Amino acid sequence: MTRLDVRKTYKLYIGGAFPRSESGRTYEVVSAKGEFLANAAMGSRKDVRDAVVAARGALAKWSGATAYNRGQVLYRVAEVLEGRRAQFIEEVAASEGLTPRAAGASVDAAIDRVVWYAGWTDKIAQVLGNLNPVAGPFFNVSAPEPTGVVGVLAPQTSSLLGLVSVVAPVIAAGNTAVVVTSASRPLPAVTFSEVLATSDVPGGVVNIVTAQTAEVATWLAAHRDVNAVDLTGVAGADGVDWAALEREAAGNLKRVLRPVLSDGVPVEPDWTADPGLTRIRAFVETKTVWHPKGL
């Protein structure tokens, strides 16, 4: 007896739950070879707004957690990723047109990247902060603090390694995130949302919206309750003008992490390179406090 394929329709990930898109729309996700893989929710402006509300609601608790606790949570994410390694290899291979071996290397690098950022959570204050020398009987201390809610346009090509490379530093620094996935390669991001839901990441810390980047990027960049935006994902996104998004972000003086440019055109960075602290530094703000010394 021939069985019918059960064609899965994936939902969004907002506030720790998996709601359907407010738009009621879906779109077909196909492999690099053009084969049908699944249906994904077509996120809308309202979905982005709901995700921002969830991220704002989770910010106080997440930013107020100890750096050690955030590191342990990220390490747990890496553990769950490792447990689903075979599934991610299959999805990355199909999405990016890679051999199983190359996909396996990409998945392993993504897991290692999460562990790397987990190790940085309790070192950010020492490396990016400082006890400043001053003339007078005062302590002058500069300390990094989370920027707040960060809107992230995920890379269009690197469906998992690029994704974790832009999301992990945002939450490692104590921010919360609203992530718009790759439009054509969203499946690893959807599975990553299932990893988040079954790890110790509180609901609302990371919110994942599958959508056409050109349709929702403007609303995310312009949203007055978003404190910063990462525009990395404009590289390869049809109909997206990164300079226009930067102008929209200026409405409430958002921090903007610009895409990597080559001859003025956005390109994806080399995700296998040492990430350094650029992405952590981009989403922290420095508070400097003066305090009198005791006698």
| Mean pLDDT of all residues in 270-279 | 95
The predicted pLDDT at position 174 comes to 98
Percent of the chain with pLDDT over 90: 92
Percent of the chain with pLDDT over 70: 100
Listed range (97-106, 164-173, 248-257, 286-295) with the worst mean pLDDT: 286-295
Report the alpha-carbon distance of residue 187 to residue 159 in Å, rounded: 8
Going along the chain from its start, the domains and CATH numbers come out as 10-292 (3.40.605.10)
Are 152 and 177 within 8 A, CB to CB?
Answer: yes
Q: Of 23, 22, 28, whose CA–CA distance to 9 is shortest?
A: 28
Residue with tokens 């704002």: 56
| Mean pLDDT of all residues in 242-252 | 95
C-alpha dist (Å) from residue 132 to 138, 139, 280, 289, 291: 10, 8, 21, 10, 12
Report the alpha-carbon distance of residue 163 to residue 156 in Å, rounded: 9
> To the nearest whole number, what is the mean pLDDT of the chain?
95
The predicted pLDDT at position 293 comes to 85
Whether the predicted pLDDT of 224 surpasses 70? yes
Whether the predicted pLDDT of 1 surpasses 90? no
The predicted pLDDT at position 295 comes to 59
The predicted pLDDT at position 30 comes to 94
* Phi and psi angles of residue 179, each rounded to the nearest 5 degrees, phi first: -110, 125
Are 182 and 233 within 8 A, CB to CB?
Answer: yes
CA count, 13 A, side-chain hemisphere, 255? 20
The predicted pLDDT at position 8 comes to 81
**Cα of 28 vs its chain's centroid, Å:** 23
The predicted pLDDT at position 193 comes to 97
Residue with tokens 């779109």: 27
Q: What is the pLDDT of residues 8-66, one digit of tens each?
A: 889 999 999 999 999 999 999 999 999 999 999 999 999 999 999 999 999 999 999 99
Q: Of 25, 18, 16, whose CA–CA distance to 215 is shortest?
A: 25
Q: What is the pLDDT of residues 175-221, one digit of tens each?
A: 999 999 999 999 999 999 999 999 999 999 999 999 999 999 999 99
Are 242 and 259 within 8 A, CB to CB?
Answer: yes
Q: What is the pLDDT of residues 57-98, one digit of tens each?
A: 999 999 999 999 999 999 999 999 999 999 999 999 999 999
Report the alpha-carbon distance of residue 202 to residue 16 in Å, rounded: 7
